[in-house]
Amino acid sequence: MLASLSIIFLFGMFMGWIFKNLRLPPLIGMIIAGIIVGPYSLNILSETMLNISADLRKIALIIILSRAGLSLDLEQLKKVGRPAIMMCFVPAAFEMAACTIISHFVLNLSYIDSAIVGAVIAAVSPAVVVPRMIKLIDGKYGSKRGIPQMIMAGASADDVFVIVMFTAFVSLSQGGNISALSFIKIPISIFLGIAIGVVFGIILCRLFSAVSVGASSKVIIYLGLSLFLTSAETYLENIIPFASLLSVMACGAIIYRLNPNDAKDMSSKFSELWVGAEILLFVLLGSVVDIKYAVASGMAVILVIILSLIFRMLGVQTCLIKTSLNRKERLFTSLSYIPKATVQAAIGSVPLSMGLSCGKTVLTVAVTAIILTAPIGAILIDKTYKVLLKKD
């Protein structure tokens, strides 16, 4: 496993450096590095590494969401109000509904199989979006109007909604029923996730005030707590549903609100951690991509993804009705909701492993969505924010 880690960090950094010098997002190079060394190409990563890949990717995601929470100004988010709440589920609902209808006709799937496809590709990727929104907040682009804060919060809550819908559709495909409880879990999970994060944020602030510890120790405590919350979600999912990733962000946001100096010091430490975590996340993400599926998909799958994205962007515009954002800011918000990667990598292969008839098609769409939208979305965000957003 040590050799695999060496390959991931060195080759991932090298490929990221190449793409950075080409003035393209380094994450594209990292994903390509993962595809090259992964089990579907050269297959030089150890089996042990591949077995814990999902956990390592989750840790990397927790690091960047912790960093995001420590940069999240609740006052700015509060000013955004209604659109911030709608961004958590409306764009995904638009995309899911559109994909269900489009896949039925273009891919010749049943409506329930098409709904599974829609649920898989409807989630935006916090791993791609959140680091870029943090960069905007640090650079003071649109942050005074709460644009990156709104996108960052929405991108994290969006996944909760999509995964619940995916679970419901898979159950229905297997002959089960969709109960009202399945849908009630969505607001409960989001509310409890935020509430638990707020409580732990207050506890940490009081602890840091009472006990004198350095910024590095505070980061370790916060990170340890975040890992605990994430694992607790898995153990308690059938008892008390709560969105642990929202808890992680909410905890950081409370620290930022109650003790901004601590938040600033911790944030800089998390930025240093992210240098390595980013390589780990995107190389391992690339390693689960079977490029053969994407190559064999043809234009039909690409057409489904593109048309579904258009409806997602329409959903974003719907959320922004009667807001003070101008056309450029609305366009940027829509473009920021394009990237897909994290959720698609996590659940794209589930229908196939369960033996569902749509399994191979779902995996093909998931892989193609990652390859198509992660780099394009990242490029669009990186290349347009200075043009479309005002610097505060």
CA distances from 5 to 29, 56, 223, 247 (A): 17, 11, 21, 29
d(CA 338, CA 348): 17
Q: What would the mean pLDDT of 160-168 be, rounded to a whole number?
A: 82
Instruction: Dig out the tokens for 285 from the structure.
Output: 């993400």
Does the pLDDT at position 181 exceed 70? no
| Burial letters 199-215, b for 16+ CB under 10 A, else e | ebbeebbeebeeeeeeb
If one compares 297 and 146, the residue with the highest pLDDT of the two is 146
d(CA 303, CA 103): 9
pLDDT in tens, 319-329: 999 888 899 99
Q: By C-alpha distance, which of 343, 372, 352 is closest to 113?
A: 352
What's the 3-state SS for the chain?
Answer: CHHHHHHHHHHHHHHHHHHHHCCCCHHHHHHHHHHHHCCCCCCCCCHHHHHCHHHHHHHHHHHHHHHHHCCCCHHHHHHHCHHHHHCCCHHHHHHHHHHHHHHHHHCCCCHHHHHHHHHHHCCCCHHHHHHHHHHHHHHCECHHHCHHHHHHHHHHHHHHHHHHHHHHHHHHHCCCCCCHHHHHHHHHHHHHHHHHHHHHHHHHHHHHHHCCCCHHHHHHHHHHHHHHHHHHHHHHCCCCCCCHHHHHHHHHHHHHHHCHHHHHHHHHHHHHHHHHHHHHHHHHHHHCCCHHHHHHHHHHHHHHHHHHHHHHHHHHHHHCCCCCCCHHHHHHHHHHCCCCCHHHHHHCCHHHHCCCCCHHHHHHHHHHHHHHHHHHHHHHHHHHHHHHCCEC
Q: What is the longest distance spanned by two Cα atoms in the chain?
A: 63
CA distances from 271 to 151, 219, 235 (A): 20, 11, 30
User: What is the per-residue pLDDT for 333?
Assistant: 94
Q: How many Cα atoms sit within 13 Å of 234 on the Cβ side?
A: 6
If one compares 188 and 384, the residue with the highest pLDDT of the two is 384
Instruction: Dig out the tokens for 392 from the structure.
Output: 């505060």
Q: Whole-number mean pLDDT of the chain?
A: 86
Give 209-213's long-range contacts (Cβ < 8 A, gap of 24+): 209/259
> What is the CA 120 to chain-centroid distance, rounded?
13
User: What is the per-residue pLDDT for 297?
Assistant: 67
User: What is the per-residue pLDDT for 179?
Assistant: 60
Give the rounded percent of residues in the chain with a pLDDT score beyond 70.
Answer: 96
pLDDT in tens, 262-278: 888 888 888 888 888 88
The pTM assigned to this predicted structure is 0.80
The pLDDT-based confidence of 180 (bands split at 50, 70, 90) is low
pLDDT in tens, 205-247: 999 888 888 888 999 999 999 999 888 887 877 777 778 888 8
User: What is the per-residue pLDDT for 178?
Assistant: 57
CA distances from 33 to 13, 15, 282, 284, 323 (A): 9, 6, 9, 9, 42
User: What is the per-residue pLDDT for 175?
Assistant: 66
The pLDDT-based confidence of 156 (bands split at 50, 70, 90) is confident
Question: Which of 139-153, 161-175, 245-259, 378-392 has the least mean pLDDT?
Answer: 161-175
The pLDDT-based confidence of 337 (bands split at 50, 70, 90) is very high
Q: What would the mean pLDDT of 184-200 be, rounded to a whole number?
A: 84
pLDDT in tens, 87-113: 888 999 999 999 999 999 998 888 999
- Which of 17-31, 42-56, 304-318 holds the top average pLDDT? 304-318
CA distances from 97 to 38, 100, 351 (A): 33, 5, 19
pLDDT in tens, 107-138: 888 899 999 999 999 989 888 898 899 899 88
User: What is the per-residue pLDDT for 273?
Assistant: 87
Q: What would the mean pLDDT of 34-48 be, rounded to a whole number?
A: 89
Residue 141 backbone phi and psi in degrees, to 5 = -100, 110
User: What is the per-residue pLDDT for 67?
Assistant: 85
pLDDT in tens, 340-354: 887 887 788 788 777
Instruction: Dig out the tokens for 16 from the structure.
Output: 């990221």
User: What is the per-residue pLDDT for 344?
Assistant: 85
Q: What would the mean pLDDT of 30-46 be, rounded to a whole number?
A: 89
If one compares 197 and 239, the residue with the highest pLDDT of the two is 197
CA distances from 184 to 85, 156, 161, 289, 305 (A): 16, 19, 11, 33, 28
